[in-house]
Structure 1
């Protein structure tokens, strides 16, 4: 792959770190913060991140399983989060090559429609099943998720930025 000028060469991602970060995001989503509509979905951000950076390791099947776990945890309609996460992961994998050419703040703008679509899918399924409309504060969640994209990018790429063999003659 051709890299942008000035882009740092990254080490390969450790599969254990990928799945550990996804499990941590799942547990973070399961913390009892209360049910507010504007709360960002950390698992969705992490799924999109790894779908963009490692599409062969984190795919639609993993998104479906994490979605089922979230549906069971929140006692929501079975498949609500699963459908939203699978659609989110599908579109993230679809745009992953183009997305990596942008800077991280530009990537945040590019993934905002993905997060909007995922929340729209969840809302549509909830409304079809006879749920109540959570209010316009639901529109804050995708914006907060897009704003968290740079933070998640720095945190999850940190283990890959280490120099494997530092040498004064070969700085990486």
Structure 2
């Protein structure tokens, strides 16, 4: 019997790589505020599906990598993804039994918290932070796209038998 452990990690890493590519893909200026938080969405899914494989260390590594790719202050995305990861690991058993629209509401709250942590850290660093709630638009986009992300990643998980 083959070892599926290494195989499972490659599938998860490929999903995170795809999310990182989508996170830095160029968009028109008018659509930048509507870009879903791809890395957070993929991390939320894998943390809920496989909490024993994807957790705080994964969130920290992804956050630092996203900081480097985006040119953000080192630790900004890492801190927000770690906060989201902690919340998902605390809530995953409850969220799993919700229907997709309830899960979308939870995703909205989680991504909003992530955005608020990022805004707070930007304010502490003296960078320009949004003066209105417009910075929450990516959370709305993420919540709206969650059902699609959920179905695609679940199909990937089942077809590659990631456990």
TM range (shorter): 0.7 to 0.9
Listed one character per residue, the Cα deviations across residues 127-160 of structure 1 (whole Å, up to 9, x for unaligned) are: 1111112454212111111111101011001134
- Quick check: 2:107–2:142 contact (8 Å CA) kept in 1? no
Q: State the number of aligned residues.
A: 152
**What does residue range 1-150 of structure 1 map to in structure 2 within 5 Å?**
14-33=8-27, 36-134=32-130, 135-150=132-147
* Separation in 1, partners of 2:100, 2:69: 32
TM score, norm. by length of structure 1: 0.80
Displaced runs of 4+ in structure 1, greater than 4 A? none
Structure 2 unaligned spans of 5+: 1-6
Classify the secondary structure of the residue corresponding to 1:64.
Answer: helix
Listed one character per residue, the Cα deviations across residues 65-104 of structure 1 (whole Å, up to 9, x for unaligned) are: 1111111122211100000001111101110000111111
The alignment's C-alpha RMSD in Å is 2.1
* Separation in 1, partners of 2:37, 2:106: 17
* Separation in 1, partners of 2:72, 2:11: 29
- Quick check: 1:64–1:85 contact (8 Å CA) kept in 2? yes
Q: Which has the larger radius of gyration?
A: 1
Structure 1 unaligned spans of 5+: 1-12, 165-172
**Higher share in helix:** 2
